[in-house]
Structure 1
Amino acid sequence: MGIRKIQFILSLLFLIGYLVLIVIVLTVEVSDTFNMQKGENSLIGEINILLGVLTGAIAQILNFWFNESDK
């Protein structure tokens, strides 16, 4: 298996995981049945932080694939 194929698979897995995380956050935020009552434990704050960190990584992945320099 070539290095470019492995890089492509890892990038694709990261993007799919990122999109799944966005869907989960939006589902929890919009839905009244999944939303927890005030005062109960919720990890939505931590998930939002994770989403912010992963959003920064998207730029690095796009830079890798659309970089003009030949290696």
Structure 2
Amino acid sequence: MANNKLLPKLLQNLLDILNDEEYYDITIEVGNDPYIKIFRCSNGNFTLSFPLLAKNFKKKNYGTLAYIKLPNISPN
């Protein structure tokens, strides 16, 4: 029954990583001045959440910081 104790700890570790700014390598800016919202995520989360956009980020870009600007998308 070690798995019953491992899963909650594993999930907590994942949440800690997702909330830690040290692990963000992609910044997404949406909207136009003065209505801009910034989102930050890891490459892994970005790839899972937006597979069509992620095709632009090949493995060769791993480890680099990416800044995506989408002015035609509402921050809401």
**TM-score band (shorter)?**
0.3 to 0.5
TM-score (norm 1): 0.34
Which structure has the highest helix share of the two?
1
Q: Which has the higher contact order (CA 8 A, sep 6+)?
A: 2
